[in-house]
């Protein structure tokens, strides 16, 4: 089903939001010149399929006023200003008590929202009103999910230092001398971690949590389960017994190593404002996936950089995830 | 129809919830037959239930011409509505789709926000 936009084409980057009459009537502006918002979502162009209840002339005969309802709320006034661009195919085809699709922008007159129509046409396929209902639901849920995901993946940091001896973890080097990487260790200690050839020996002994790898001034509180990518499809279906999940896992095409890298970069991004160092990734991933080569990790990172998922920051050894 | 209240789309199972609501409802369905005196018609609601639609007396016309229609009207009882407006919906409509859309519109995620 395609949208007929009439003689006006949309500027690049604009989208048409499917909405119900109730949403359009409830939309609010911060001030008279600002865009409309519904449930925190900004609206530009909107589309609505509704029952054309009444047709009336504009008070100065420079256009027409239509009144539509879709059962969700009261009546919405739709104003179409210019008849000079009217489509001869449509003139006469709009009559009361049919379904129409309207596209336009909201305006507020005297405290009540109205739709200034860019285009209005009769519905030909009677499934369209129900398609529009479902489309409005999908658009609503998608926007809500996007809002909640962006809030959910925002960096969270506890400012209370957790510096105790009980978190001390012994690490043995080749020479047999014990070194203790304590939470009191500074950021510089992390940067000066042994080279990769010795990582195996170091990681094998660390069976505790990863707290010592963080900057000890901050304690990371993972906002998402560490076993799945932050943007995985955890959204529940609309109805448990019928409809599929609305969001797919955007990282389903990645290998398990790439997914681990993405997860670790996401989790540690707040601790490394200039980019997560590759050494940190190796320390975390090398232990859990038995990947004992920086080369594999670096290759995985480069592949994801080519795919646009990651980018390097201060140098070729620090990475961030693209939004 | 009311200017400030909606007219929710319902099926036969939900009709009784709007008894005495003071505002009309919408029922989309298939016209099964007219009474001999054309005072009422019987329609099949999207969930398969049967609804009786009281038609306006002459000289008013009911406007029903198609097999599938949407009747906007007030609820008289759990299986009867009184005709106010008729929207003709053609000869081919998937009532299962209509019923799914109706049931979803009553989901708590959407009720009060979209519908």
DSSP codes joined into one string, A173-235: -TTS-EEEE-TT--HHHHHTPPPGGGHHHHHHH--S-GGGGS-TT-EE--SS-TTS-TT---P
Higher pLDDT, A293 or B7: B7
Q: For the whole prediction, is pTM greater than 0.80?
A: no
Higher pLDDT, B37 or A40: B37
Whether residue B93 and residue A127 make contact (CB cut-off 8 A), yes or no, is yes
Q: CA-CA distance, A6 to B65, in Å (whole number)? A: 30
Smallest CA–CA distance, residue A65 to chain B, in Å, is 15
What residues have CB less than 8 Å from B16, skipping those under 6 apart?
B75, B77, B78
Q: A191-224 burial, b for 16+ CB within 10 Å, e for fewer?
A: eebeebeebeebbeebeeebebbbbbeebbeeeb
Residues from chain B that touch A134, judged by Cβ atoms under 8 A, are 101, 104
Residues from chain B that touch A99, judged by Cβ atoms under 8 A, are 87
pLDDT band at residue A14 under the 50/70/90 scheme: low
Higher pLDDT, A222 or B49: B49
Q: CA-CA distance, A15 to A35, in Å (whole number)? A: 14
> Phi, psi (5° rounding) for residue B2?
-70, 145
Find out whether A49 and A76 touch, Cβ atoms under 8 Å. Answer: no
Considering only the beta carbons, identify the residue of A69, A141, A242 that sits closest to B7: A69
CB pairs under 8 A between A and B: 78
Tell me if chain B has a CB within 8 Å of the CB of A133.
Answer: yes
For residue B62, give the 3-state DSSP assignment. Answer: coil
Which residue of A lies nearest to B71 if distances are taken between CA atoms? A97
Higher pLDDT, A54 or A284: A54
What pLDDT does residue A162 have? 44
CB contacts under 8 A, A 148-207 vs B, are none
User: Which residue, among A69, A123, A132, A241, would best test binding to B if mutated, counting the most B CBs under 10 Å from its CB?
Assistant: A69
Q: Which of B73, B71, B80, B78 is nearest to B17 (CA)?
A: B78
Tell me if chain B has a CB within 8 Å of the CB of A22.
Answer: yes
For residue B113, give the 3-state DSSP assignment. Answer: coil
pLDDT band at residue A290 under the 50/70/90 scheme: low
What pLDDT does residue A231 have? 44
Higher pLDDT, A203 or B6: B6
Q: Could you say which DSSP state residue B9 is in?
A: B
Considering only the beta carbons, identify the residue of A74, A97, A127 that sits closest to B94: A127
What pLDDT does residue A60 have? 58
What pLDDT does residue B112 have? 87
Ranges of H-type helices in chain A? 21-26, 128-152, 187-191, 199-205, 256-268, 278-289, 294-306
pLDDT in tens, B10-56: 999 999 999 988 889 999 999 999 999 989 999 999 999 999 999 99
Most confident of the following: A117-121, A180-184, A215-219:
A117-121
Most confident of the following: A2-11, A24-33, A190-199, A214-223:
A24-33
Tell me the mean pLDDT in the region A8-31. 78
Tell me the mean pLDDT in the region B77-83. 95
With 70 as the cut, is the pLDDT of residue A222 above it?
Answer: no
A306-314: long-range pairs with CB below 8 Å, 24+: A309/A262, A310/A261, A310/A262, A310/A265, A312/A275, A313/A274, A313/A275, A314/A274, A314/A275
Tell me if chain A has a CB within 8 Å of the CB of B97.
Answer: yes
pLDDT band at residue A22 under the 50/70/90 scheme: very high
pLDDT in tens, A239-272: 444 444 445 566 777 888 888 888 888 888 888 8
> What percentage of chain B's residues is helix, strand, coil (to nearest 5)?
15, 35, 50
pLDDT band at residue A205 under the 50/70/90 scheme: very low
pLDDT band at residue A235 under the 50/70/90 scheme: very low
The CATH number of B12-105 is 2.40.50.140
């Amino acid at each position: 089903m395609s949208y007929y936009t009439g003689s006006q084409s949309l500027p690049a980057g604009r989208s048409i939001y499917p909405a119900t009459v109730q949403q359009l009537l409830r939309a609010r502006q911060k001030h008279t010149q600002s865009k409309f918002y519904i449930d925190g979502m900004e609206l530009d162009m909107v589309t609505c399929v509704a029952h054309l209840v009444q047709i009336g002339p504009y008070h100065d005969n420079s256009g027409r006023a239509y009144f539509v309802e879709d059962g969700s709320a009261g009546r919405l006034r739709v104003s179409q200003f210019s008849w000079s661009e009217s489509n001869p195919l449509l003139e006469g085809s709009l009559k009361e008590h049919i379904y129409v699709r309207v596209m336009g922008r909201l305006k507020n007159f005297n405290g009540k929202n109205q739709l200034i129509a860019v285009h209005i046409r009769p519905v030909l396929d009677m499934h369209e009103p129900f398609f529009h209902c479902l489309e409005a639901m999908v658009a609503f849920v998608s926007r809500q999910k996007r809002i909640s995901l962006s809030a959910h993946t925002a960096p969270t940091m506890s400012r209370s230092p957790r510096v105790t001896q009980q978190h001390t973890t012994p690490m043995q080097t080749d020479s047999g001398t014990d070194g203790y990487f304590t939470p009191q260790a500074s950021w510089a200690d992390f940067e000066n971690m042994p080279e990769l050839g010795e990582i195996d020996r170091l990681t094998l002994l660390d069976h505790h949590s990863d707290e010592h790898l963080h900057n000890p001034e901050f304690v990371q509180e993972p906002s998402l389960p560490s076993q799945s990518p932050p943007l995985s499809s955890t959204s529940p279906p609309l109805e448990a017994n019928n409809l599929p999940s609305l969001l797919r896992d955007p990282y389903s095409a990645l290998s398990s190593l790439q997914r681990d890298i993405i997860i670790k970069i996401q989790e540690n991004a707040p601790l490394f404002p200039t980019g997560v160092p590759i050494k940190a990734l190796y320390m975390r991933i090398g232990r859990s996936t038995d990947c004992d080569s920086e080369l594999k990790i670096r290759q995985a990172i480069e592949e994801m950089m080519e795919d646009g998922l990651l980018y390097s920051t201060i140098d070729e050894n620090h990475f961030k995830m693209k939004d | 129809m009311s200017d400030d209240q909606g007219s929710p789309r319902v099926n036969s199972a939900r009709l009784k919830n709007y008894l005495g609501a003071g505002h009309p409802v919408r029922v989309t369905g298939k016209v099964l037959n007219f009474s001999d005196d054309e005072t009422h018609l019987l329609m099949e609601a999207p969930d398969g239930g049967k609804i009786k639609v009281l038609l306006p007396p002459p000289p008013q016309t009911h406007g029903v011409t198609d097999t599938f229609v949407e009747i906007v009207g007030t609820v008289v009882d759990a299986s009867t509505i009184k005709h106010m407006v008729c929207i003709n919906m053609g000869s081919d409509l998937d009532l299962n789709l209509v019923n799914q859309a109706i049931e979803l519109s009553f989901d708590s995620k959407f009720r009060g926000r979209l519908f």
